[in-house]
A and B are shown apart, each in its own frame.
Chain A
Amino acid sequence: MTAWDQVVELLTSPLMQRALIAAVLVGAAAPVVGTFLVQRRMALMGDGIGHVALTGVALGWLVGSWAGLVPQDALAVPGAVIAAIVGSVVIELVRERGRTSGDLALALMFYGGIAGGVLLIKVAGGTNANLISYLFGSISTVSTTDLWWTLALAAVVLGVGLGLRTALFAVSHDEEFARASGLPVRFLSMLVATIAALTVTIAMRVVGLLLVSALMIVPVAIAQLYARSFGRTMTAASIIGVLVSVVGLTLTYWQDIPPGATIVVLAIVVYGVGASVRPLVRRPSPPRDPHPDMVDDVLLVDDGVVDPPSRTITE
């Protein structure tokens, strides 16, 4: 079989088609949110939300089994969406108050989320094995319904993230100035938190809850090695996200390796290569006077604009 035949076979497999569409959507949307999170110094927020979403998955499962739904996990994704949004809003409130250490609050959510999920899944009559596909992703089993959910949520995330890009940038870059401009700072912060939560739940299928944050953050880390503006960082991160997701997924078509982990390892390898070759690729700026407009004399800050002709100092 020629390489071309293999590609045709890959693209004509309905399972693979669905998986590829999901990978493209998630790969494009996750780094857009990630750019705002890195700018807000909340790179680990995605992890916190991901852990909390596991409790949501188990809660959805529990409600599903009480209601006698078939399959039992029909409500797992809605449960994850709700838990993720609640979790992200709580994290944002803790950050805003600034009283408790945000760090500590995040840690409590990490542990509480995982422990709650494991506990509730047992109560719901499931086993830890049922959680594995949520923890590590199951892109190879994406159904048409899943795909529609992913499409809708990715559209919301991209619509908000790109449509309100300047406003979200303003709030993330300088919150004090945003407040002094009368911007709805709290609403916009909550919006970032909410689209982060939605991203976690759609990326859950592709890379799993434990690795969800990697898809948001690592492409941004790669992009900011080379980009010099916010807009370019976001665009480049989104393109990198799509590329690593598609390439990683395609590799798993021929090799029996887990797709989520493959995508994340691939992204980290790209970061490593990017960081290593940066000094070689980026042209060094020629040495120049950083302040050609400065006077040469050493003047202290308060010396005034001109040299005083005389000083009249009286004791």
Chain B
Amino acid sequence: MSEAVPVIEATALGVTIGGQPILTGIHLTVTPGEVLALLGANGSGKSTLVRSLLGVIPTTAGSVRLFGVPLGPSAPWSRIGYVPQRMPAASGVPATALEVVASGFLHGRTLRRPHGHRQSALSALRDVGLAERAHQAVQEMSGGQQQRVLIARALVRRPDLLVLDEPTSGIDIPTQSTFVETVSRLHDAGTTVVVILHELGPFAPLIDRAVVLRHGRVAHDGPAPRARGEHAGEWHDHTHAHSDPEEPPSPFTVEVLP
């Protein structure tokens, strides 16, 4: 991988949904091998940004390049793994963990699974500690187990860029540590990671750089912002919710420290 080609390059990105501008003038460059945290209050546009970068929702302005290729059918989809916030609500038809993970082999114009897909899918499930549940229906699993199935689905194609949407919100502790271990292992192997976080939490030691969004604009891009006051305690865990989206919550107040 050439150092010169950014993994993600968004230029003047704008997204408008239902006449409402959700994102405006976003410039974002992610370089190979870095771990980038996307921070911001609820409704600041974190998920929308990630979804528009990956082509889930259409952009209304600007351009996105992934590994130097414009977003579209010819983008190198096999190099990108995405972990959404949660699994879609169950429909009437059951699906096993193995079937869900195997769907991660498909990307771009590759509509069939490669040879040996079963072994790779089983090994991806083993990596997230769900080997013995491979043939269980995901609908019967807990939220944390479903999340681990989603990580396995993203990793099965061995991506060079992993994108995680709020991996630590509302999930059990073993799954949180699975996420942190996974990101740490991938980071060591040179994978680029973009992770949406509500707070740095257990990811803090891994984060190289943080981008803070506020009202659909980049409010900060640089070192991870340090929490203020009582939030700055080494073991302080920021758990309370913020009711007023107009006032950005204090942990995300930007203080670029020398």
Q: Does B100 contact A (CB under 8 A)?
A: yes
Interface size class on chain B is 35 or more
Q: Does A182 contact B (CB under 8 A)?
A: yes
Which residues of the other chain, A, contact B106 by a CB distance below 8 angstroms? 166-167, 170, 178, 181, 183
Cβ 8 A contact of B95, one of A173, A188, A313: A173
Which residues of the other chain, A, contact B234 by a CB distance below 8 angstroms? 312
Contact present for A220 and B82 (CB under 8 Å): no
Q: Does B238 contact A (CB under 8 A)?
A: yes
Mask, A232-258, CB within 8 Å of B = 1, is: 010000000000000000000000000
Q: Which of B82-138 contact A (CB under 8 A)?
A: 82, 84, 87-88, 91-96, 98-100, 102-109, 111-113, 129, 135-137
Contact present for B103 and A170 (CB under 8 Å): yes
Contact present for B107 and A295 (CB under 8 Å): no
With contacts A167-B111, A169-B99, A314-B229 taken as known, whether A290 is within 8 angstroms of B142 at the C-beta atoms is yes
| A229 and B136 alpha carbons, distance in the complex (Å) | 8
| A295 and B176 alpha carbons, distance in the complex (Å) | 13
With contacts A228-B137, A293-B174, A315-B230 taken as known, whether A180 is within 8 angstroms of B54 at the C-beta atoms is yes
Mask, A143-155, CB within 8 Å of B = 1, is: 0000000000000
Which residues of the other chain, B, contact A167 by a CB distance below 8 angstroms? 106, 111-112
User: Of A70-78, A120-128, A196-204, A302-310, which binds chain B?
Assistant: A302-310
Contact present for B153 and A224 (CB under 8 Å): no
Q: Is the interface of B mostly helix, strand, loop or mixed?
A: loop
User: Of A3-11, A34-42, A47-55, A80-88, which binds chain B?
Assistant: A34-42
Contact present for A304 and B92 (CB under 8 Å): no
| A312 and B77 alpha carbons, distance in the complex (Å) | 45
Which residues of the other chain, B, contact A164 by a CB distance below 8 angstroms? 111-112
Smallest CB separation, B146 vs chain A (Å): 11
Cβ 8 A contact of B96, one of A229, A290, A295, A301: A229
- Of A38, A166, A227, chain B has the most CB atoms within 10 Å of the CB of A166
Which residues of the other chain, A, contact B111 by a CB distance below 8 angstroms? 164, 166-167, 183, 188
| A314 and B235 alpha carbons, distance in the complex (Å) | 11
Contact present for A182 and B77 (CB under 8 Å): yes
Smallest CB separation, B155 vs chain A (Å): 13
Contact present for B173 and A305 (CB under 8 Å): yes
Q: Does A176 contact B (CB under 8 A)?
A: yes
Contact present for A182 and B236 (CB under 8 Å): no
| A315 and B230 alpha carbons, distance in the complex (Å) | 5
Contact present for A313 and B230 (CB under 8 Å): yes
A174 nearest CB neighbor, chain B only:
B88
Q: Does B80 contact A (CB under 8 A)?
A: yes
Q: Does B19 contact A (CB under 8 A)?
A: no
| A291 and B98 alpha carbons, distance in the complex (Å) | 19
Q: Does A111 contact B (CB under 8 A)?
A: no
B129 nearest CB neighbor, chain A only:
A293
Q: Does B208 contact A (CB under 8 A)?
A: no
Contact present for B73 and A180 (CB under 8 Å): no
Smallest CB separation, B178 vs chain A (Å): 10
| A67 and B64 alpha carbons, distance in the complex (Å) | 55
Which residues of the other chain, B, contact A313 by a CB distance below 8 angstroms? 230, 233, 236
Please provide the 5 A-B residue pairs with the shortest distance between their CB atoms, ordered closest to farther.
Answer: A182-B77, A308-B235, A180-B82, A170-B103, A167-B111
